[in-house]
Structure 1
């Protein structure tokens, strides 16, 4: 059984910032996620890549945080790329239309 505890790992490679998400983003972990993501946006000089291979769940609160982050980063003409989505989360992006907003690999 994989841990549902939320973790965020940041990696900087030149102007590219990668964030690796693991566990669950829900009402209990969303504030931590928001704070960490905002910090990355404020210090990032380029696009942000979010790796979701270890993310098992995200709720509407988490999706809202992602949308807010995208609005912020687009002010600098940068983008958010989301990769390695599990099928259940990818389906959520498609149902909500977020697959049209974000660059999904």
Structure 2
């Protein structure tokens, strides 16, 4: 399945919002990484990833998230992940990434 990512900058909250649709896997992770790093370089701000329409993420995608978070932490910014599907939320729990990222149900 393909990956589509909508992105917008919320001027009021001063935060990037990324909404991935589909799957982030070994084939689509490079596109995700390019977009994530681009928004980090464009504007120094926190990032919210809305996982409502994210159907699947593998270790490659998780690695992209971790590298993006490391880059943001250099400027005291963070990634918040919201609206994860149960299967992806469980993956974050199993890997312990729910303690690395801010994961919220909205």
Which interval holds the TM-score relative to the shorter structure?
over 0.9
TM-score normalised to the size of structure 1?
0.94
Q: Deviation string for 1:32-67 (max 9, x for gaps)?
A: 011011001111221100001000000000000000
Structure 1 stretches of 5 or more lacking a match?
none
Residue equivalent to 1:70: 69
Residue equivalent to 2:7: 10
Residue equivalent to 1:28: 27
Q: Deviation string for 1:7-48 (max 9, x for gaps)?
A: 111011122110001100011101001101100111122110
Runs of 4+ aligned residues of structure 1 deviating over 3 Å after TM superposition are: none
Distance in 1 (CA, whole Å) between partners of 2:62 and 2:43 is: 20
RMSD of equivalent CA atoms: 0.8
Structure 2 stretches of 5 or more lacking a match?
none
TM-score normalised to the size of structure 2?
0.93
Give the structure with the larger helix fraction: 1
